């Protein structure tokens, strides 16, 4: 399977029978043929990073692309804990945020001439800071697993967030720490003043860190993390210390989280405790990594993109964006716990067996009725928010080109009618879709059985 479409759990190594003549022969290494699919996927990923600012040319798009770059790194680093190690952390922003603060202090010291660190190495400084604090706090944090681990990380996150006002010299108080990223000699002709130059710096780190974290999944430590997640008792039985494995994975995740934090400091030229180490920031990393799909390597990449779209774009459209996000998270947990990546892989499985064409047309009525139901809910939510927050602006509300009167019974009845109509039609199409889906799955199962019987 290709690199970015690979699951977080690497495939098991299948032993190959050794011929009798080879017994006692000296060991040697054979190089496998190149994985063409993997090369294509990574090449496309690099081309997307290079071409993105030329396709989306507005200043807002460039800002969002830069944020997506380091959000991908942070979500992938969080997935080392959640997807690979099964460690549900509520304090991952601690290592991202502390990496940002150390990075911005290093930038200020370098600008004064006290540290000979060029800007291109500042993310590495942030990564080393994240690794240091992960090594310092992780030894206690990883003593336990499961719910206890989650509660400890929550406590550590709150502890660091509360220290922000206690140490204003380091955290800068409520105003944070500012800097100027243009300092020292240009690097290969780039002074990183323009936003496009900062984007490409972030893109390079995004590609390199993504490749390194994918390579980490195939290392002995990465595979032992999978084993500790699935069966820590068996890991201890074969001679490994599960706590030490969790701790080492925690430190690796802290390094990449710090790299993402350092890139964020370069991009914004300001770091505040509220935006960097708060529990809300840790919650967003958890939420979007889960939405993207923690069981697949490329899931957090989707999650990082969605996080920027939600926090930058969706938050500008409506004040109720967090409510919508919570509802999406709720339905994903109930109906697609594998995240968006799992839905993609399910359809790729259908395409592999040539059955995607039979189900793709069932998606259209399902999506259409879901959209109608969503419009009814959104109209009611927006009217409620208008009554509570914007009542001084009058009783009229512009919603998708329509004018709603928030104190009129007709607007409320209309929204309820749209919702109920969409709900009824969605239920009918959902049942028809499920029948067709189960038929296709049974057909695929029979084909697999026939293939195994003839093999």
Using one digit for the tens of pLDDT, what is the confidence trace for 408-426?
888 899 999 999 999 999 9
CA 96-97-100 angle, to 5 degrees, is 90
Is the pLDDT at 310 greater than 70? The verdict is: yes
pLDDT of residue 406: 86
**Lowest-pLDDT range, 4-18, 97-111, 301-315, 375-389?**
4-18
Q: What is the pLDDT of residue 396?
A: 84
Question: pLDDT tens digits for 437-455?
Answer: 888 989 888 888 888 888 6
* Residues in CB range of 20: below 8 A, 6 or more apart: none
Give the pLDDT confidence score for residue 37 in this predicted structure.
77
pLDDT in the model for residue 189: 81
pLDDT recorded at residue 149: 93
pLDDT score, position 78 = 96
Percent with pLDDT over 90 in the chain: 53
Confidence label for 337 from pLDDT (cuts 50, 70 and 90): confident
Please give the pLDDT value at position 34: 62
Mean pLDDT of the chain: 87
Q: Are strands 396-399 and 270-271 parallel, antiparallel or unpaired?
A: unpaired
Q: Report the candidate in 246, 291, 227, 238 with the shortest Cα–Cα distance to residue 71.
A: 291
Tokens for 377, please give them. 């809910």
Angle between the 59-79 and 195-217 helix axes, to the nearest 10 degrees? 20
Q: Which of 51-60, 265-274, 353-362 has the lowest mean pLDDT?
A: 353-362
CB 161 within 8 Å of CB 305: no
What value does the mean pLDDT take over residues 67-92?
A: 94
Degrees (nearest 5) of the Cα angle 321, 323, 324?
65
Token digits of residue 361: 């047309």
Per-residue pLDDT at 9? 43
Helix (H, G, I), strand (E, B) or coil at 10: coil
pLDDT, tens digit, 9 for 90 and up, residues 10-57? 433 333 344 444 444 444 444 455 677 788 899 999 999 999 999 998
Alpha-carbon span 17 to 33, nearest angstrom: 20
Q: Tell me the sheet residues that pair with 397.
A: 404
pLDDT on residue 21: 40
**Mean per-residue pLDDT for 262-289?**
92
CA atoms in the 13 A half-sphere facing the CB of 94: 29
Q: Where are the alpha helices (DSSP H) in 293-338?
A: 299-308, 315-317, 321-335
Q: Which residues are 7's β-sheet partners?
A: 296
- Residue identified by tokens 């030490």 is 244
In sequence order, the 6+-apart residues with CB closer than 8 A to the CB of 286 are 78, 82, 88, 89, 90, 92
CA nearest to 177, candidates 122, 110, 277, 100: 100
Task: Read off the pLDDT of residues 88-131 as tens digits, 9 standing for 90 and up.
Answer: 999 999 999 999 999 999 999 999 888 889 999 999 999 999 99
The bridge status of strand 177-178 relative to strand 270-271 is: antiparallel
> Tell me: the pLDDT tens digits for 234-255?
999 988 999 999 999 999 999 9
The predicted pLDDT at position 4 comes to: 45
**Domain segments of the chain: what residues?**
36-338, 354-453
Model pLDDT, residue 331: 87
Give the Cα separation of 335 and 178 in Å (integer): 44
- In CATH, what class is 36-338? mainly alpha
Q: And the tokens for 326?
A: 């919570």
When pLDDT is cut at 50, 70 and 90, the band that residue 80 belongs to is very high
Q: How confident is the model at residue 8 (pLDDT cuts 50, 70, 90)?
A: very low
Residue 306 contacts residue 292 (beta carbons within 8 Å):
yes
């Amino acid at each position: 399977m290709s690199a970015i479409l690979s699951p977080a759990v690497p495939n098991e190594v299948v032993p190959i029978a050794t011929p009798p003549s080879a017994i006692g022969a000296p060991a040697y290494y054979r190089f496998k043929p190149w994985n063409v699919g993997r090369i294509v996927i990574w090449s496309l990923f690099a081309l997307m990073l290079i071409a993105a600012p030329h396709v989306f040319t507005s200043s807002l798009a460039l800002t969002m692309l830069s944020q997506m770059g380091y959000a991908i790194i942070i979500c992938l680093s969080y997935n080392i804990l959640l997807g690979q190690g099964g460690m549900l952390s509520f304090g991952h922003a601690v290592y991202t945020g502390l990496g940002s603060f150390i990075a911005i202090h290093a930038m200020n010291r370098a600008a004064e001439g006290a540290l000979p660190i060029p800007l291109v190495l500042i993310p590495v400084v942030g990564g080393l800071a994240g690794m240091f604090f992960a090594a310092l706090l992780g030894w206690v944090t990883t003593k336990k697993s499961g719910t206890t681990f989650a509660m400890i990380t929550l406590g550590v996150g709150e502890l660091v967030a509360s220290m922000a006002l206690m140490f204003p010299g380091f955290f800068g108080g409520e105003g944070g720490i500012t800097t100027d990223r243009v300092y020292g000699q240009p690097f290969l002709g780039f002074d990183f003043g323009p936003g496009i130059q900062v984007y490409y710096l972030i893109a390079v780190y995004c590609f390199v860190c993504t490749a390194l974290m994918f390579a980490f999944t195939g290392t002995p430590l990465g595979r032992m993390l999978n084993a500790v997640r699935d069966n820590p008792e068996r890991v201890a039985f074969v001679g490994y210390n599960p706590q030490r494995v969790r701790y080492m994975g925690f430190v690796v995740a802290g390094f990449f989280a710090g790299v993402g934090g350092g890139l964020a400091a370069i991009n914004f030229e300001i770091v505040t405790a509220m935006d960097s180490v708060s529990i809300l920031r840790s919650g967003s990393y958890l939420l979007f990594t889960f939405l993207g799909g923690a069981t697949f390597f490329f899931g957090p990449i989707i999650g990082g993109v969605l996080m920027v779209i939600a926090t930058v774009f969706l938050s500008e459209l409506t004040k109720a964006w967090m409510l919508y996000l919570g509802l999406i998270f709720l339905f994903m947990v109930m109906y697609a716990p594998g995240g968006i990546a799992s839905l993609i892989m399910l359809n790729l499985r259908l395409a592999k067996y040539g059955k995607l064409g039979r189900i793709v047309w069932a998606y259209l009525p399902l999506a259409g009725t879901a959209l109608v139901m969503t419009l009814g809910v959104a109209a009611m939510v927006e009217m409620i928010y208008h009554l509570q927050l914007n009542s001084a602006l009058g009783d009229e509300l512009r919603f998708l080109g329509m004018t709603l009167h928030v104190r009129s019974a007709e607007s409320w009845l209309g929204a309820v009618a749209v919702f109920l109509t969409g709900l009824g039609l969605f239920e009918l199409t959902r049942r028809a879709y499920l029948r067709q889906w189960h038929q296709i799955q049974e057909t695929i199962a029979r084909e697999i059985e026939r293939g195994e019987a003839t093999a």
